[in-house]
Structure 1
Amino acid sequence: MKKRALISVSDKQNIVEFAIGLVELGYEIISTGGTLSVLQGAGVPATAIDQVTGFPEILDGRVKTLHPMIHGGLLAKRSNPDHLMQLGDNHIEPIDMVVVNLYPFKQTLERDGVSKEDIIENIDIGGPTMLRSAAKNFADVMVVVDPGDYDSILEALRNDSINLEFHQKLAAKVFRHTANYDAMIANYFLTQTGEKFPETYTVTYEKVQSLRYGENPHQEAAFYKNPIQNGMSLATAKQLHGKELSYNNIQDANAAIEILAEYGEPTAVAVKHMNPCGIGMGESISDAFLIAFEADPISIFGGIVALNREVDSQTAEQLSDIFLEIVIAPSFSEKALEILTRKKNIRLLSTEMSKKDATSYKLTTVDGGVLIQSRDNGVIKENNLVVATERIPSEEEMNNLLFAWKAVKHVKSNAIVLAKNKQTIGVGAGQMNRVGAARIAIEQAGENAIGSVMASDAFFPMSDTVEEAIKAGVTAIIQPGGSKRDQDSIDVCNQHGIAMVYTGMRHFKH
């Protein structure tokens, strides 16, 4: 009996060549709408779907393949005599292959100015239904959803090397594909309804690349991206030079981009192990990088640098003087690229930095589950602050306090940052007690701590951290406040003429 293939695709890439190959192998082609026109226009013999169903396409194409003549032909088990008898009784012929890819829902969402009506009309119904029917019956039906598989399928058919395992792999890809498609639709409706944490939460990601290993060589890893990008993201960065990113590179680079998003003026951020080792703000991007470098010229070695302005030749010369894993910027001048690409091992990435996605969620896996939270997009401005001490910060201190507050938000808790002249001069990260983090930051700053400001990501449970700051020469402090013993810290500040302001907002980062 002649085999039949049903072809109905939105992405018509290479479909004519594939259909010709199937015809040469003895397949009869059934097709729909635009696909039928393309195939017949290329001289491929194809039968219209309504000739099979005996029913016209209706509702502007919303109903065309949702018919027993189609789904009976897909779902009948060839090994079941009763199924075959029912096909005969109802004059239904089996369908042996389904080639379907779906309405471009993702591409529709990404279009500027797209209407809700267009979005809804690009939710495919018949396509996923045919795919699921064929994939469920994979033992008897070959189901094809990826144009990238066309050549290997034709080769396997010609070599008579098709087997059950081959069918099952294609079916597995279908269910991944429809799950991805449905997840994007579900998440679109979540944005429309405004529901934050629904009864089920489905996420989907698309593979960017396999990685050589994870955090350590004995761990396997891969990099996936959100299929719908709404803001600045490492996943959409363009790599201009250097070898593939590693797992740890991606983690660090993402941290650098998140930190940089806090600052509007020319700013450079240096990151090691997902913590900033130097942040600098300057009149130019060259000045900003020099300030970030001088914040910690030891830790920056082998680190990642992100800059929020185009890298010019002067900055490129500075960057090339030290060993860096990655440099990220919105763009690089032609001369800067010439300078930096002389270094074989440096990776250069360009990415959009003008848009920050404030709507996405942060997912953290735990054994057997996942934690979901909104991103820490909390922003504090001067008029949000409460002065807790007798002395009010000077204008310069206030500017540095706000600069340090943005930095400490991105340091692992417990976190303390010392800053001066819009430069981080001491960073204490990830300590089990707050005074320990303060001592690390103060030790790093050394004599430069005199006249600096301090930021703490959470309140002081006792006055010991303030006392360490005063001994080091810190003149102003920013912290959330809210401890039962806040007054102890306030009293110590007042005794020494130190200014302290409360944000009323905590920035724990675990």
Structure 2
Amino acid sequence: MRALLSVYEKSGIVELGQQLVALGWELLSTGGTARVLREHGVPVREISELTGFPDLLGGRVKTLHPAIHAAILARHNHPEDLEQLAQYGFEPIELVVVNLYAFDRAVTSETPEGEAIELIDVGGPTLLRAAAKNFHWVLPVVDPSDYERILAELARGGPRSVPYALRRELAAKAFAHLATYDAQIAAYLRTEPFPDLLPLPLRKIRALRYGENPHQMAALYQLAGFPSQINRWHTVGEVELSYNNVLDASAAWQLVNRFAEPAVVIVKHVAPCGVAVASTIEVAFARAFDADPISAFGGIVAFNRPVDTPTARALAQHLFDLIVAPSIDREAEDVLRRRKALRLIFAPPWVDPPYVVRSTGDIALVQSPDRPVRPQESWQVVTTRHPNETEWRDLLFAWTIVPFVLSNGVVLARDGQTVGIGGGQPNRVDAVRLAIWRAGERARGAVLASDAFFPFPDSIEVAAAAGITAIIQPGGSRRDGEVITAAERAGIAMVFTGERHFRH
């Protein structure tokens, strides 16, 4: 029985080699793996002894030889395959332990092309692909966590005792390892942002208790090669994060990071329900909570400043599931940790990923992150009356928030505080009505932001009746003229940004 061991991730490889030798296996290896095994007294033969060739082309060719690949690819139930092996003096290889270095750890977009190309492995993937193809007779092993159960099966009765289901599982894992590796190389070489084929290497971050609902099994994956936001979170709390927690926390953290002044965002079901800025984080929290206390119940709160003790005491008076902040002082953490079900997340500043991936189940949308592109200088005041200084501040504030509201999205704001948010409605006038209903009397004197244009003037008429004084929207409707006329008639200042921000 012969095994070929050649691994980048060397954890457990010495113990594996020792136990294989104890079970009567002959070990073959190359380079660093052979050196590690010898340093620990594990007998191993160099591949060059079998091939009769030294490493060629500066190490580019080591294992690409029939003595290796015929030994791996031979079908043990085909007598002619075994006869050919014997004819050339080859013996079957029945276990191939190979894993490849994570290309994204060694290579970045800044790595010179010549250096990156030399880091593309050819022999390792070829060994692994051959073993995985012939998994009925050869065990392809890529994951060190599988060593123990493989050894248990081999100790029970040799390679023939390993059940088919496990062999197939190992082959699937090997091909996934290869696909991820190739996708990382393709990502480095790719120059077209949206090619016909876009392999996205996804690496599991963690298993989840469930997905969107308790009956749905789920796990979280990150785009390999790019910093995962969630992997950089430090979570404190006794209850594990769910997918919905992660989704809400990400939405809240992205939005709160868009404000320069102290800001607080409260999110419920991926949508903001209360947002405020203020001179201190304690006041910002009080105003964000006051924006919609009913919806805030059981929500997620994000702070763009460290949480101090007074703010923690105010937080402790209400029921929240999760708090996200850059940091928290010791006394404040002690105050909040008295709530056993509350989770705290300490997060570094949000960094947009290169791609945003959304799926309908059988197709995926891959797009760039939704960041405003058109500068404020390009915006156009389309009414006779221009916003005053206070209205401009609130229009900017509301326009920052509205991309995070489910479409049709409408935000009412006043004095750096949301007073009414309407989203997820099938028509825009109902979204306006919902936002006004939530605002109540606070709508009077507020400004309004809409994520897309108004198809009819009815929304403007409803807003005017509620006392809205200024509106910001993309413009672009065939009835823009009617919409502007309705705003003029009501004395509402209206600004066109020329940029839509749908969030479905």
Name which of structure 1's ranges 10-19 and 485-494 shifts more when overlaid on structure 2: 485-494
Q: Which runs of 4+ in 1 moved over 6 A?
A: none
Q: Residues 189 and 387 from structure 1, CA distance in 2 versus in 1: closer, same or farther, beyond 3 angstroms?
A: same
Q: Verify the 8 A CA contact 2:289 2:296 in the aligned structure 1.
A: yes
Q: Name the structure 2 match of 1:17.
A: 15
Among all aligned residue pairs of Structure 1 and Structure 2, give the percentage whose two residues are the same amino acid: 48
- Cα distance in structure 2, aligned partners of 1:121 and 1:279: 51
Q: TM-score, normalised by structure 2?
A: 0.95
Q: Verify the 8 A CA contact 1:251 1:274 in the aligned structure 2.
A: yes
Say which SS state the counterpart of residue 207 (structure 1) adopts: strand
Q: Verify the 8 A CA contact 2:108 2:188 in the aligned structure 1.
A: no
Give the drift of 1:110: 5.8
Decide which of 93, 96, 107 is 2:94's aligned counterpart: 96
- Cα distance in structure 1, aligned partners of 2:385 and 2:497: 16
Q: TM-score, normalised by structure 1?
A: 0.94
How far does the alpha carbon of each residue in 1:349-368 deviate from its partner, in whole angstroms, 9 at most, with x for none? 122215333x21332224x3
Give the drift of 1:53: 0.8
Structure 1 unaligned blocks of 5 or more: none
Decide which of 203, 215, 219 is 1:218's aligned counterpart: 215
- The amino acid across from 1:458 in the alignment is A
Say which SS state the counterpart of residue 404 (structure 1) adopts: helix
Give 1:352-431 correspondences, 5 Å limit.
352-357=348-353, 359-366=354-361, 368-431=362-425
How far does the alpha carbon of each residue in 1:193-239 deviate from its partner, in whole angstroms, 9 at most, with x for none? 1x1221112223222333333323333322222222247x2354221
- The amino acid across from 2:434 in the alignment is I
Q: Name the structure 2 match of 1:313.
A: 309
Give the drift of 1:399: 1.3
Say which SS state the counterpart of residue 409 (structure 1) adopts: helix
**How many residues end up aligned between the 2 structures?**
501
Q: Name the structure 1 match of 2:457.
A: 463
Name which of structure 1's ranges 72-81 and 114-123 shifts more when overlaid on structure 2: 114-123
Decide which of 246, 249, 264 is 2:260's aligned counterpart: 264
Give the drift of 1:243: 0.9
Give the drift of 1:115: 4.0
Structure 2 unaligned blocks of 5 or more: none
- The amino acid across from 2:406 in the alignment is K
2:145 aligned with 1:151: no
Give the drift of 1:502: 0.2
How far does the alpha carbon of each residue in 1:450-496 deviate from its partner, in whole angstroms, 9 at most, with x for none? 21110011111111111111111111110111112112222222223
Q: Residues 455 and 240 from structure 1, CA distance in 2 versus in 1: closer, same or farther, beyond 3 angstroms?
A: same
Give 1:18-417 correspondences, 5 Å limit.
18-109=16-107, 114-160=111-157, 161-190=161-190, 193=191, 195-230=192-227, 233-357=229-353, 359-366=354-361, 368-417=362-411
Decide which of 404, 426, 436 is 1:442's aligned counterpart: 436
Q: Verify the 8 A CA contact 2:352 2:369 in the aligned structure 1.
A: no
- Cα distance in structure 2, aligned partners of 1:355 and 1:432: 32
Over aligned residues, Cα RMSD in angstroms? 1.8
Say which SS state the counterpart of residue 59 (structure 2) adopts: coil
Q: Verify the 8 A CA contact 1:108 1:118 in the aligned structure 2.
A: no
- The amino acid across from 1:47 in the alignment is R
- Cα distance in structure 2, aligned partners of 1:211 and 1:151: 25
Give the drift of 1:114: 4.4
- Cα distance in structure 1, aligned partners of 2:253 and 2:128: 40
Q: Residues 79 and 55 from structure 1, CA distance in 2 versus in 1: closer, same or farther, beyond 3 angstroms?
A: same
Q: Residues 110 and 298 from structure 1, CA distance in 2 versus in 1: closer, same or farther, beyond 3 angstroms?
A: farther
Q: Residues 125 and 201 from structure 1, CA distance in 2 versus in 1: closer, same or farther, beyond 3 angstroms?
A: same
Q: Name the structure 1 match of 2:2.
A: 4
Decide which of 482, 486, 495 is 1:488's aligned counterpart: 482
- Cα distance in structure 1, aligned partners of 2:290 and 2:337: 24
- Cα distance in structure 2, aligned partners of 1:242 and 1:280: 29
- Cα distance in structure 1, aligned partners of 2:460 and 2:246: 36
